[in-house]
Amino acid sequence: MEQATIAYDSLRPDWFANGNLMARALQRAVRKRSPPVTFVGFPRHWLPVFSWVGATWRGSIEPPTYVPLISRRSESEIVREIDRAQANGQLRLLVEVVASAEIVLCETLQRMDGRLAKGDFPTDGSQIRLTTWHSYNRADVRQIDKVIADFRPSRPGVLFIPCAKARPYTKSQAHQRLMRQLEGAGLNPQTFDKIVITSLGPIPEAYWEADLVQRYDTGVRDIYRLLVQCRSLLKKASYRTAWDLMTFAPYSDLLRMLHLEGYLPKLRRVPEIGKRNIPVFRTSRISA
C-alpha cells in the first residue's frame, strides 16, 4: 500500500504553528483515509496524540523547548506512559495534559476536536475527566449540546438543582436532603421540571441516567459555556415559576443573569439552603 510521510524538519514553520496542517493530517489517520500517513522525526510530545488517532511514527526527537513530563525522557519511556494511559482508558486525558503544556499541540487539538464526531472514536466506558479547557471540546462531551437543544418543558415551574457525585442524582444523599427541604417548605418536587446544573451542562431529569452523565467527573468549571448552554436550553421555555436551589454561588449568579435576559421569571430560594463561593485569596493589609 502506498504510504505518505510527513517529516517534521520539512514543515514550514508558519504552516505548522497554527495547527491547521497537523489537524488535517491527523484527521486522515482517525478516519483511516488512504494513503496512511507516517509522521517522521517529530518531538516526543506528539507521540500521545499519534497513538490516540492511530497514526504511525518513527524517529521521534527531544522537544525543542521544554515540555513538562516529556522533556528529558526517552521514546521508550513515553511509549510506556502511553501504554499505561491506554490500558486505563485515559489516553485522551494524556493527550489533553500534554496539549496543555505545548502551544502548537494545543492549537492542533482544538482544531481537530472541532472537526471530529462522536462516532470517530468508540466509547470505551471509561471515566470522562473534565480537567482542562480541551476536555469540553471532546466530541463525546459536545453531545450534551444536542440534548440541550432538544429539551422541551413539560411543567409550568422549574427547579434548578446542584450536581452531586453520586449518579444517578436521585441516589445522592445531598439530593434527597434537598428534596426533603423543598417538601418542608410546602413544595411538591414532582410538580416541577428538574434541571441539574453541572459543569457538563444543564441536565434535564429525563437524561440523568444517560451514559455521558454517568461517566463524567470534573475539577474545572466553564461558567460562560454553561451560560450559553442554559440560553439554548431555555429559549423555548416559558416557565411561570423558577426555584434556585444552588449551593454554589456563581451558579446562582448565572441563573440571575438568565432572569435579567428574560429566560426565567424571578427566582425564588428556600432560606435553609446555604451557598458557598469560589475561594478568593486576598493579601493582608500592610500598615505603613
pLDDT in tens, 266-285: 999 988 787 777 654 444 44
Say if residue 114's pLDDT is above 70. yes
The span from the CA of 212 to the CA of 189, in Å, is 25
Report pLDDT for 278.
62
Q: How confident is the model at residue 233 (pLDDT cuts 50, 70, 90)?
A: very high
The span from the CA of 140 to the CA of 115, in Å, is 12
Share of the chain above pLDDT 70, in %: 94
Say if residue 5's pLDDT is above 70. yes
Share of the chain above pLDDT 90, in %: 60
Report pLDDT for 81.
97
- Give the residue range(s) of CATH 3.40.50.10630 domains in the chain: 152-268
Q: How confident is the model at residue 286 (pLDDT cuts 50, 70, 90)?
A: very low
Average pLDDT over residues 10-33: 88
Which CATH number is 152-268's, of 3.30.465.10, 3.40.50.300, 3.40.50.10630, 3.40.50.10300? 3.40.50.10630
Q: How confident is the model at residue 15 (pLDDT cuts 50, 70, 90)?
A: confident
Report pLDDT for 283.
47
- The more confident residue out of 33 and 105 is 105
C-alpha cell at position 101: 503544556
The pTM (predicted TM-score) of the whole model is: 0.83
Report pLDDT for 276.
74
Average pLDDT of the residues of the chain: 89
Contact status, residue 241 vs residue 158, Cβ threshold 8 Å:
yes
Say if residue 247's pLDDT is above 50. yes
Say if residue 264's pLDDT is above 60. yes
